[in-house]
Structure 1
Amino acid sequence: MNFETLDKPDSILTLFRNHGFTETQISVLIRKLPLVLVLDLDKTLLPKIEIFQSKGVSTEDIIKILSAAPGVFRRSLENQIIPTYNFFKALLKTEEKTIVVIKRFAGILLYDDLHIYIEPNIEALREIGVPKSNIVVLFTKKPQAFTAIADRFKKIVKEVKKMGFNPTTMMFGAAIHALMAMSKSTWEKKVEVYKKWSLSEDEILVAFGKNPRFMMVSEDNIMGIMNFFVNKMGWESSIVVRRPVLASLSLEKRIIPRCLVCEILLLKGLIKKDFGLDWFLESPESYFLKNFVKKYEEEAPEPLKLYQEKLNLSK
């Protein structure tokens, strides 16, 4: 690599250090974009940092964005970065939401033609009746989904509508994201795994309709969770059709530790057998600790200790 001056790379390294980059972060950035060492410091590099500073982005988040998408340094500030930023702000209406999107998927700043990559997908949702407020929420949460090839995106939107999802609900967007995240063959493999546990295709679609995350679980995790519910807990496999969120919970970090706590509380007679194990598993961590662990700390100190040990082992 030829440098214009011997001290140019050093001045660029100093620039990054002065703006909060660690040596490791600088090293990673250079490996991703070696060209950064020969770009103009004042005309090309510094303005890209300053534009984010002017929007109120923290130093930590600027580093995160530029480390995730160093290609930003190669793009024109006037012709690419600023127009792209303004496009998203016009859609999302606030600076805060725009920054959230960029932090979640910094690579979205690198798309040259938003009229080809993003606008058609937004329009596909509008045409089918998705409210603008829902589009904003979906875009904020899953911006990468909107960079899909327009034909595939539109096909999935129609497929989700055909499945019976209501375009005016947030579940419609969740279903789009779920289908975007996997190929047709992956979907079929997961269906086959659920079928091994005696679930029909209709039941699988019912569960997916209640909670699209039901089909975002890996095949191995589906097997592990179904095996635990059916063979360890003695439940009917249809439990995940009635309560599909159960299939998306972590077996090691949530299901096993909580079931062990439940077993101790049942043996000590502190809870009744019909108290509702599904809610026991689904409840937020703070609620679970307060109402099922710390509540019985004097009568049964073992659950808290056991629960903490299991969580530490699963980290």
Structure 2
Amino acid sequence: MPLPLLRHRTCLWVVADCCTHLRLLHGSSPQTLNPSISDLTVSYLIKSCGLSPAAALSVARKFTIKSTGNADSFLSLLTSYGLSQLQITNVVYRRPILLSLNPEMRIKPKLDFFLSVGYSRAGLIELICADPSNLTASLERKIRPNFNQLRSILGSSRDVAVAIKNFPQLIRINLDGAVLPNMKTLRDIGVPEQRIIMLATLFPRQISRNPNHFNQAVELLKKMGFDPSKVAFIMGINVLSGLLKATWDRKWEVYRRLRWSEEEISSAFRKHPFCMLVSDEKIKKIMEFFTEKMKWEPSYLAARPVLLSFSYEKKILPRYEIFRLLESESLVNRKLGFATFLIIPEREFIRKYVINYAAQVPQVLEIYKHKLELERWKNLDS
């Protein structure tokens, strides 16, 4: 089924010029290589802002420091509000124009505003680091009116902070151009107000989409049989409005090749919309596991698409080993299928099948310890 939606993604990749980098490290003047690059800018970015020579050169190609007065004051201001040197370096690298603004007039009032509406210092730092461009937006024309309007919609400053955390640009975009029309579209088709607020709070990026694209997603969901009054409709909006058409078409092809029928794919999406966000590789890996180890037919898994969202290494494999072990000891009710075994919440699973049988079958504890160790190492790698 085609998806008539397109999403424009802008990815910014900054690649350093290796030759220029090496010459700078060896003392060559950047101006001899490119007259548009300022010695002062490169030096300041390195010595005062903590950028690497390569990063400083990249920034200096697009931005020039004419005087260090505002820049020094800006760095001092961020330090006084609790940002670390690494955080400041990241802010400067991503939005160097902040160094040229008058910090007392252009930056500090915005920081104080966020503190006045309930942000903690830690929350403010997180907001700045998430999107430094928010500090270039007008306080009176964008930040304050957007925050107040969002608070009137979502109900509290805390909910607004959650929405902004999920989509930092929300504080400076044109709410009247997308968010409000999209909310009206949902009301007009019968989506309950609490569901609309849920979407705006948890998935604000999606409700900020171009209204034409948003409406296309809504219409497609209705054609596929989604009930606007159910949570699944909101989940479907989140998935559809964020997918490229090419990605949507490719996912359908992946499931077709795994012998899912058109109706099974549609049904799976209605039950668990996030099945369309699972990577192709993961889908194939999990399907192969279940068809080989459990001897499940593709239709069985198609009826339980939530299983595709589970981590193979952290959940499916260790629980499979524990399930087989307990089954061999006749400790698991044979009527309990492995699919049910997988869906049990983690806390209940640990209590019921790990702690409860640890003394009788010590291997279950070893399997679970291995799982935790695997998670710890993966977290270190990330």
Fold shared per TM-score above 0.5 = yes
Structure-1 separation of matches of 2:190 and 2:70:
54
Structure-1 separation of matches of 2:232 and 2:275:
12
Assess if the C-alpha contact under 8 Å between 1:66 and 1:106 holds in 2.
no
Unaligned ranges ≥5, structure 2 = 1-63
Counting aligned pairs with the same residue, the percent is 35
Partner of 1:10: 72
Report SS of the residue matched to 2:298. Answer: coil
Structure-2 separation of matches of 1:99 and 1:156:
27
Partner of 2:19: none
Does the alignment pair 1:31 with 2:93?
A: yes
Q: 2:373 aligns with which of 302, 312, 315?
A: 312
Partner of 2:263: 202
- What's the offset of the Cα at 1:80? 0.8
Question: Which residues in structure 2 correspond to 1:151-300 (within 5 Å)?
Answer: 151-300=212-361
Assess if the C-alpha contact under 8 Å between 2:70 and 2:101 holds in 1.
no
- What's the offset of the Cα at 1:307? 1.9
Q: 1:107 aligns with which of 166, 169, 175?
A: 169
Q: Deviations over 1:67-120 (max 9, x none)?
A: 122112211111111011111111112111111111111111221x22213222
Unaligned ranges ≥5, structure 1 = none
Q: Deviations over 1:167-210 (max 9, x none)?
A: 11111111111112212221221122222222101011111111
Partner of 1:302: 363
Assess if the C-alpha contact under 8 Å between 2:199 and 2:207 holds in 1.
no
Report SS of the residue matched to 1:96. Answer: helix
Q: 1:118 aligns with which of 179, 184, 187?
A: 179
Partner of 1:20: 82
- What's the offset of the Cα at 1:7? 4.2
Partner of 2:22: none
Assess if the C-alpha contact under 8 Å between 1:265 and 1:271 holds in 2.
yes
Structure-1 separation of matches of 2:190 and 2:204:
19
Structure-2 separation of matches of 1:72 and 1:272:
56
Partner of 2:20: none
- Amino acid of the residue matched to residue 351 of structure 2? K
After superposition, the CA RMSD in angstroms is 1.4
Partner of 1:79: 141
Report SS of the residue matched to 1:223. Answer: helix
Report SS of the residue matched to 1:238. Answer: helix
- Amino acid of the residue matched to residue 96 of structure 1? R
- Amino acid of the residue matched to residue 55 of structure 1? V
Assess if the C-alpha contact under 8 Å between 2:82 and 2:121 holds in 1.
yes
Does the alignment pair 1:132 with 2:182?
A: no
Assess if the C-alpha contact under 8 Å between 1:207 and 1:240 holds in 2.
no
Assess if the C-alpha contact under 8 Å between 1:12 and 1:37 holds in 2.
yes
Structure-1 separation of matches of 2:333 and 2:153:
51
Structure-1 separation of matches of 2:213 and 2:65:
44
Q: TM-score, normalised by structure 2?
A: 0.79
Rg: which structure is higher? 2
Q: Deviations over 1:189-247 (max 9, x none)?
A: 11222222221010111111112122221111110110111012212222223222111
- Amino acid of the residue matched to residue 143 of structure 1? P
Partner of 2:158: 96
Q: Deviations over 1:139-161 (max 9, x none)?
A: 11100002211111001101101
Structure-1 separation of matches of 2:287 and 2:221:
26
Structure-2 separation of matches of 1:2 and 1:144:
34
- What's the offset of the Cα at 1:261? 1.0
Report SS of the residue matched to 1:14. Answer: helix
Structure-2 separation of matches of 1:226 and 1:181:
25
Structure-2 separation of matches of 1:153 and 1:132:
17
Moved over 4 A (4+): none
